Amino acid sequence: MTIGKIIDGKAFAAGLRDKVALGVAAFAASQGRKPGLAVVLVGEDPASAVYVRNKGKMTVAAGMESFEFRRPAHIEEEELLDLIEELNADDRVDGILVQLPLPAHINEASVIAAIDPAKDVDGFHVVNAGRLATGQDALVPCTPLGCIMLLKDELGDLSGLEAVVVGRSNIVGKPMAQLLLAENCTVTIAHSRTRDIASVVHRADIVVAAVGRAEMVKGEWIKPGATVIDVGINRVTDTEDGKGRIVGDVATAEALAHVRAITPVPGGVGPMTIAVLLRNTLVAAHARAG
Ligand code: GUN
Protein backbone atom coordinates (compact mmCIF):
# COMPACT_ATOMS: atom_id res chain seq x y z
CA MET A 1 0.00 0.00 0.00
CA THR A 2 1.33 3.43 -0.89
CA ILE A 3 1.06 6.30 1.51
CA GLY A 4 0.30 9.83 0.34
CA LYS A 5 2.44 12.88 0.80
CA ILE A 6 1.98 15.19 3.78
CA ILE A 7 1.91 18.80 2.58
CA ASP A 8 4.12 20.99 4.78
CA GLY A 9 1.99 24.13 5.18
CA LYS A 10 4.21 25.39 7.97
CA ALA A 11 7.26 25.53 5.68
CA PHE A 12 5.27 27.02 2.78
CA ALA A 13 3.85 29.72 5.10
CA ALA A 14 7.35 30.56 6.39
CA GLY A 15 8.54 30.98 2.79
CA LEU A 16 5.57 33.23 1.99
CA ARG A 17 6.23 35.37 5.09
CA ASP A 18 9.86 35.78 3.97
CA LYS A 19 8.70 36.94 0.52
CA VAL A 20 6.23 39.37 2.08
CA ALA A 21 8.98 40.75 4.36
CA LEU A 22 11.12 41.52 1.28
CA GLY A 23 8.14 43.27 -0.34
CA VAL A 24 7.50 45.22 2.86
CA ALA A 25 11.12 46.44 2.95
CA ALA A 26 10.85 47.60 -0.68
CA PHE A 27 7.54 49.34 0.06
CA ALA A 28 9.00 51.13 3.09
CA ALA A 29 12.06 52.24 1.07
CA SER A 30 9.94 53.70 -1.75
CA GLN A 31 7.04 55.12 0.31
CA GLY A 32 8.87 56.28 3.43
CA ARG A 33 6.45 54.42 5.69
CA LYS A 34 5.66 50.85 6.71
CA PRO A 35 2.43 49.09 5.73
CA GLY A 36 0.10 49.00 8.76
CA LEU A 37 -2.37 46.37 9.95
CA ALA A 38 -5.04 47.13 12.58
CA VAL A 39 -6.60 44.21 14.45
CA VAL A 40 -9.73 44.67 16.56
CA LEU A 41 -10.53 42.10 19.26
CA VAL A 42 -13.84 42.31 21.12
CA GLY A 43 -14.25 40.27 24.31
CA GLU A 44 -12.10 37.68 26.03
CA ASP A 45 -12.40 34.51 23.91
CA PRO A 46 -9.07 32.75 24.66
CA ALA A 47 -8.67 31.18 21.19
CA SER A 48 -9.25 34.58 19.55
CA ALA A 49 -6.76 36.20 21.96
CA VAL A 50 -4.09 33.66 20.94
CA TYR A 51 -4.73 34.31 17.21
CA VAL A 52 -4.56 38.07 17.71
CA ARG A 53 -1.30 37.85 19.66
CA ASN A 54 0.25 35.69 16.92
CA LYS A 55 -0.98 38.07 14.23
CA GLY A 56 0.62 41.01 16.04
CA LYS A 57 3.96 39.22 16.40
CA MET A 58 4.09 38.08 12.78
CA THR A 59 3.05 41.52 11.50
CA VAL A 60 6.01 43.11 13.31
CA ALA A 61 8.34 40.27 12.22
CA ALA A 62 7.40 41.02 8.57
CA GLY A 63 8.45 44.65 9.11
CA MET A 64 4.94 46.11 9.25
CA GLU A 65 3.27 48.39 11.76
CA SER A 66 0.83 46.54 14.05
CA PHE A 67 -2.08 48.35 15.75
CA GLU A 68 -4.15 46.41 18.27
CA PHE A 69 -7.52 47.47 19.67
CA ARG A 70 -9.06 45.47 22.52
CA ARG A 71 -12.61 46.26 23.52
CA PRO A 72 -14.82 44.68 26.21
CA ALA A 73 -17.52 42.16 25.20
CA HIS A 74 -20.26 44.61 26.27
CA ILE A 75 -19.16 47.34 23.82
CA GLU A 76 -22.07 48.93 21.94
CA GLU A 77 -22.20 48.27 18.20
CA GLU A 78 -22.20 52.04 17.58
CA GLU A 79 -18.89 52.43 19.42
CA LEU A 80 -17.31 49.64 17.39
CA LEU A 81 -18.55 51.28 14.15
CA ASP A 82 -16.98 54.58 15.31
CA LEU A 83 -13.64 52.82 15.84
CA ILE A 84 -13.81 51.36 12.33
CA GLU A 85 -14.56 54.82 10.91
CA GLU A 86 -11.42 56.15 12.63
CA LEU A 87 -9.33 53.31 11.20
CA ASN A 88 -10.81 53.88 7.71
CA ALA A 89 -9.63 57.50 7.92
CA ASP A 90 -6.18 56.71 9.38
CA ASP A 91 -3.52 56.86 6.66
CA ARG A 92 -1.10 54.67 8.62
CA VAL A 93 -3.61 51.81 8.46
CA ASP A 94 -3.67 49.76 5.22
CA GLY A 95 -5.54 46.74 6.57
CA ILE A 96 -8.36 46.37 9.11
CA LEU A 97 -9.25 42.99 10.61
CA VAL A 98 -12.09 42.59 13.10
CA GLN A 99 -11.64 39.23 14.79
CA LEU A 100 -14.73 37.00 14.47
CA PRO A 101 -16.91 35.80 16.07
CA LEU A 102 -18.31 38.96 17.66
CA PRO A 103 -20.60 38.95 20.73
CA ALA A 104 -24.22 38.07 19.88
CA HIS A 105 -25.59 41.62 20.41
CA ILE A 106 -23.38 42.96 17.60
CA ASN A 107 -24.44 42.53 13.96
CA GLU A 108 -21.41 41.05 12.20
CA ALA A 109 -22.65 42.00 8.73
CA SER A 110 -23.00 45.67 9.74
CA VAL A 111 -19.50 45.72 11.19
CA ILE A 112 -17.96 44.14 8.08
CA ALA A 113 -19.94 46.54 5.86
CA ALA A 114 -18.42 49.51 7.74
CA ILE A 115 -14.85 48.56 6.77
CA ASP A 116 -13.43 50.42 3.75
CA PRO A 117 -13.28 47.67 1.06
CA ALA A 118 -9.76 48.90 0.16
CA LYS A 119 -8.64 48.05 3.72
CA ASP A 120 -10.66 44.81 4.03
CA VAL A 121 -7.69 42.42 4.25
CA ASP A 122 -10.03 39.59 5.33
CA GLY A 123 -11.91 39.92 2.02
CA PHE A 124 -15.25 39.64 3.87
CA HIS A 125 -16.88 42.87 2.61
CA VAL A 126 -19.63 42.28 0.03
CA VAL A 127 -17.74 44.46 -2.44
CA ASN A 128 -14.73 42.13 -2.27
CA ALA A 129 -16.94 39.00 -2.31
CA GLY A 130 -18.73 40.41 -5.38
CA ARG A 131 -15.47 41.29 -7.12
CA LEU A 132 -14.15 37.78 -6.51
CA ALA A 133 -17.38 36.25 -7.83
CA THR A 134 -17.24 38.37 -11.00
CA GLY A 135 -13.55 37.82 -11.74
CA GLN A 136 -12.35 41.32 -10.80
CA ASP A 137 -9.33 42.28 -8.68
CA ALA A 138 -10.32 41.74 -5.04
CA LEU A 139 -8.95 41.29 -1.57
CA VAL A 140 -9.53 37.54 -1.12
CA PRO A 141 -10.24 35.73 2.18
CA CYS A 142 -6.96 34.50 3.66
CA THR A 143 -7.69 30.84 4.39
CA PRO A 144 -9.11 29.89 0.95
CA LEU A 145 -6.35 31.82 -0.83
CA GLY A 146 -3.79 29.91 1.25
CA CYS A 147 -5.48 26.63 0.22
CA ILE A 148 -5.23 27.56 -3.48
CA MET A 149 -1.53 28.36 -3.06
CA LEU A 150 -0.89 24.93 -1.51
CA LEU A 151 -2.92 23.19 -4.26
CA LYS A 152 -1.09 24.96 -7.09
CA ASP A 153 2.24 24.20 -5.45
CA GLU A 154 1.33 20.51 -5.28
CA LEU A 155 -0.58 20.05 -8.56
CA GLY A 156 0.50 22.89 -10.84
CA ASP A 157 -2.34 23.71 -13.28
CA LEU A 158 -5.74 22.90 -11.70
CA SER A 159 -7.63 23.34 -14.98
CA GLY A 160 -10.33 20.72 -15.62
CA LEU A 161 -9.97 19.01 -12.25
CA GLU A 162 -13.06 17.94 -10.29
CA ALA A 163 -13.13 19.82 -6.95
CA VAL A 164 -15.49 19.22 -4.05
CA VAL A 165 -15.67 21.78 -1.23
CA VAL A 166 -17.29 20.41 1.92
CA GLY A 167 -18.79 23.37 3.80
CA ARG A 168 -20.50 26.57 2.62
CA SER A 169 -19.39 29.30 5.03
CA ASN A 170 -18.85 32.86 3.82
CA ILE A 171 -15.32 32.77 5.27
CA VAL A 172 -14.05 29.56 3.63
CA GLY A 173 -16.48 27.37 1.62
CA LYS A 174 -18.01 29.95 -0.72
CA PRO A 175 -14.83 31.92 -1.55
CA MET A 176 -12.96 28.60 -1.89
CA ALA A 177 -15.46 27.49 -4.55
CA GLN A 178 -15.04 30.83 -6.39
CA LEU A 179 -11.25 30.52 -6.38
CA LEU A 180 -11.37 26.92 -7.67
CA LEU A 181 -13.78 28.02 -10.41
CA ALA A 182 -11.38 30.81 -11.38
CA GLU A 183 -8.72 28.08 -11.75
CA ASN A 184 -11.06 26.28 -14.20
CA CYS A 185 -11.99 23.43 -11.86
CA THR A 186 -15.41 21.77 -12.03
CA VAL A 187 -16.71 22.73 -8.59
CA THR A 188 -19.29 21.16 -6.28
CA ILE A 189 -20.15 22.51 -2.82
CA ALA A 190 -21.32 19.78 -0.43
CA HIS A 191 -22.86 20.57 2.95
CA SER A 192 -24.93 19.19 5.82
CA ARG A 193 -28.00 18.61 3.59
CA THR A 194 -26.10 16.95 0.74
CA ARG A 195 -27.43 13.46 -0.07
CA ASP A 196 -24.89 10.64 -0.23
CA ILE A 197 -21.97 12.93 0.54
CA ALA A 198 -19.56 9.98 0.38
CA SER A 199 -20.17 9.47 -3.34
CA VAL A 200 -20.05 13.22 -4.04
CA VAL A 201 -16.63 13.46 -2.34
CA HIS A 202 -15.51 10.30 -4.17
CA ARG A 203 -15.76 12.13 -7.53
CA ALA A 204 -13.19 14.69 -6.51
CA ASP A 205 -9.59 15.12 -7.63
CA ILE A 206 -9.44 17.93 -5.05
CA VAL A 207 -11.27 17.79 -1.71
CA VAL A 208 -11.38 20.86 0.54
CA ALA A 209 -12.95 20.11 3.92
CA ALA A 210 -14.16 23.15 5.87
CA VAL A 211 -17.10 22.14 8.05
CA GLY A 212 -15.72 22.27 11.60
CA ARG A 213 -16.65 18.66 12.46
CA ALA A 214 -13.90 16.40 13.75
CA GLU A 215 -12.83 13.73 11.22
CA MET A 216 -16.20 13.72 9.43
CA VAL A 217 -14.65 13.07 5.98
CA LYS A 218 -13.73 9.38 6.01
CA GLY A 219 -10.73 7.83 4.29
CA GLU A 220 -12.81 5.54 2.06
CA TRP A 221 -14.69 8.58 0.65
CA ILE A 222 -11.48 9.75 -1.01
CA LYS A 223 -10.82 8.80 -4.65
CA PRO A 224 -7.39 7.14 -5.04
CA GLY A 225 -4.85 9.81 -5.98
CA ALA A 226 -6.94 12.80 -4.85
CA THR A 227 -5.39 15.80 -3.10
CA VAL A 228 -7.03 16.75 0.21
CA ILE A 229 -6.94 20.13 1.94
CA ASP A 230 -8.15 19.98 5.54
CA VAL A 231 -9.22 23.38 6.90
CA GLY A 232 -10.74 22.02 10.13
CA ILE A 233 -9.34 22.80 13.58
CA ASN A 234 -11.34 20.76 16.13
CA ARG A 235 -10.44 19.94 19.71
CA VAL A 236 -11.37 16.40 20.77
CA THR A 237 -11.10 15.25 24.38
CA ASP A 238 -10.36 11.54 24.00
CA THR A 239 -6.81 11.49 25.41
CA GLU A 240 -6.01 9.90 28.76
CA ASP A 241 -4.33 13.03 30.13
CA GLY A 242 -7.60 14.91 29.59
CA LYS A 243 -5.85 17.66 27.60
CA GLY A 244 -7.37 16.51 24.31
CA ARG A 245 -5.86 16.99 20.87
CA ILE A 246 -6.51 19.01 17.74
CA VAL A 247 -7.85 17.17 14.69
CA GLY A 248 -9.07 18.28 11.28
CA ASP A 249 -12.32 17.67 9.39
CA VAL A 250 -10.73 14.64 7.66
CA ALA A 251 -9.86 11.26 9.19
CA THR A 252 -6.22 11.78 8.17
CA ALA A 253 -4.76 8.40 9.15
CA GLU A 254 -7.39 6.58 7.03
CA ALA A 255 -7.15 9.06 4.17
CA LEU A 256 -3.37 8.71 3.86
CA ALA A 257 -3.77 5.31 2.18
CA HIS A 258 -5.92 6.90 -0.57
CA VAL A 259 -4.53 10.36 -1.24
CA ARG A 260 -1.82 11.70 -3.50
CA ALA A 261 -1.25 14.43 -0.90
CA ILE A 262 -2.98 15.82 2.20
CA THR A 263 -2.50 18.75 4.58
CA PRO A 264 -2.00 17.72 8.22
CA VAL A 265 -3.72 19.31 11.24
CA PRO A 266 -1.92 21.08 12.79
CA GLY A 267 0.79 22.31 10.42
CA GLY A 268 -1.17 22.40 7.15
CA VAL A 269 -3.61 25.18 6.31
CA GLY A 270 -3.47 26.86 9.74
CA PRO A 271 -0.10 28.62 9.34
CA MET A 272 -1.11 29.81 5.84
CA THR A 273 -3.92 32.06 7.10
CA ILE A 274 -1.68 34.61 8.87
CA ALA A 275 0.94 34.48 6.08
CA VAL A 276 -1.77 35.35 3.51
CA LEU A 277 -3.12 38.07 5.82
CA LEU A 278 0.32 39.71 5.73
CA ARG A 279 0.40 39.31 1.95
CA ASN A 280 -3.06 40.90 1.65
CA THR A 281 -1.95 43.82 3.84
CA LEU A 282 1.03 44.46 1.54
CA VAL A 283 -1.27 44.22 -1.53
CA ALA A 284 -3.70 46.70 0.09
CA ALA A 285 -0.81 49.06 0.96
CA HIS A 286 0.38 49.06 -2.67
CA ALA A 287 -3.14 49.63 -3.99
CA ARG A 288 -3.64 52.57 -1.60
CA ALA A 289 -0.21 54.03 -2.45
CA GLY A 290 -1.26 53.95 -6.13
N1 GUN B 1 -11.98 34.09 13.05
C2 GUN B 1 -11.56 32.88 12.60
N3 GUN B 1 -10.92 33.02 11.41
C4 GUN B 1 -10.94 34.34 11.11
C5 GUN B 1 -10.42 35.11 10.03
O6 GUN B 1 -9.81 34.62 9.06
N7 GUN B 1 -10.63 36.43 10.10
C8 GUN B 1 -11.29 37.01 11.12
N9 GUN B 1 -11.47 38.34 11.09
N10 GUN B 1 -11.78 36.34 12.14
C11 GUN B 1 -11.60 35.00 12.13
Looking at the fold, whether 84 and 146 belong to one and the same domain comes out as: no
Do 98 and 207 share a structural domain? no
Q: Domain check: are 96 and 170 in the same one?
A: no
> Do 254 and 213 belong together in one domain?
yes
Q: Is 122 annotated in the active site?
A: yes
In a domain, 194, yes or no: yes
Q: Give 154-210 pLDDT, tens digit per residue.
A: 999 999 999 999 999 999 999 999 999 999 999 999 999 999 999 999 999 999 999
Same domain, 191 and 248: yes
In a domain, 259, yes or no: yes
Domain boundary among 55, 85, 117: 117
Nearest CA to ligand 1 atom 11: 100
- ipTM greater than 0.90: yes
| pLDDT tens per residue across span 124-157 | 999 999 999 999 999 999 999 999 999 999 999 9
Confirm whether 257 is domain-assigned.
yes
Give residue 212's domain range.
Answer: 141-270
- pLDDT value, residue 279: 98
What confidence tier does 249 reach under pLDDT thresholds 50, 70, 90? Answer: very high
Strand order in the sheet with 162-166: 5-6, 261-262, 227-230, 206-209, 162-166, 186-190
pLDDT number for residue 194? 98
Q: Which residues pair with 163 in a beta bridge?
A: 187, 206
- What's the CATH code of the domain at 91? 3.40.50.10860
Q: What percent of the chain has pLDDT over 70?
A: 100
In a domain, 134, yes or no: no
C-alpha 181 – ligand 1 centre gap (Å) = 23
pLDDT of residue 1 exceeding 80, the answer is no
Residues 190 and 257 in one domain: yes
Q: Which atom of ligand 1 approaches the CA of 277 most closely?
A: 6
Check whether residue 166 and residue 205 sit in a common domain: yes
pLDDT of residue 239: 80
Q: What mean pLDDT is reported for the chain?
A: 97
* Residue 201, domain member (yes or no): yes
Residues with CB under 6 Å of ligand 1 are 97-100, 122, 142-143, 273
CA of 249 to the centre of ligand 1 (A): 18
Task: Specify the residue with its C-alpha closest to ligand 1, atom 3.
Answer: 100
Give CA–CA dist 35/91, Å, rounded: 10
Q: How far is the CA of 100 from the centre of ligand 1 (A)?
A: 5
Q: Please indicate, yes or no, whether residues 74 and 174 belong to a single structural domain of this protein.
A: no
Write down how long the chain is: 290
Nearest Cα neighbor of 39 from 22, 28, 51 is 51
In a domain, 94, yes or no: yes
CA of 205 to the centre of ligand 1 (A): 28
Nearest Cα to Cα of residue 93 among 68, 126, 110: 68
Minimal-distance CA residue to ligand 1 atom 9: 99
Candidates 97, 108, 147, 279: which one to mutate for ligand 1, based on the most atoms within 8 Å of Cβ? 97
pTM tops 0.90, yes or no: yes
Atom of ligand 1 nearest to the CA of 122: 7
- Ligand 1 atom closest to the Cα of residue 142 is 6
Task: Tell whether 36 is in a known binding site.
Answer: no
- Rounded Cα distance between 196 and 262, Å, is 23
Q: Are residues 259 and 154 part of one domain?
A: yes
Instruction: Clarify whether residues 182 and 71 are in a common domain.
Output: no
Closest among 80, 75, 65, 73 to 48, alpha carbons compared: 73
Residues 203, 98 share a domain: no
In-domain check, residue 147: yes
| Active-site residue, 174 included | no
Verify whether residue 99 is a known catalytic residue: yes
Give pLDDT tens digits for 24-43: 999 999 999 999 999 999 99
- What's the total number of domains in the chain? 2
Say which CATH number the domain at 194 has.
Answer: 3.40.50.720
In a domain, 10, yes or no: no
Whether residue 101 sits in one domain with residue 159: no
Residue minimizing CA distance to atom 2 of ligand 1:
100
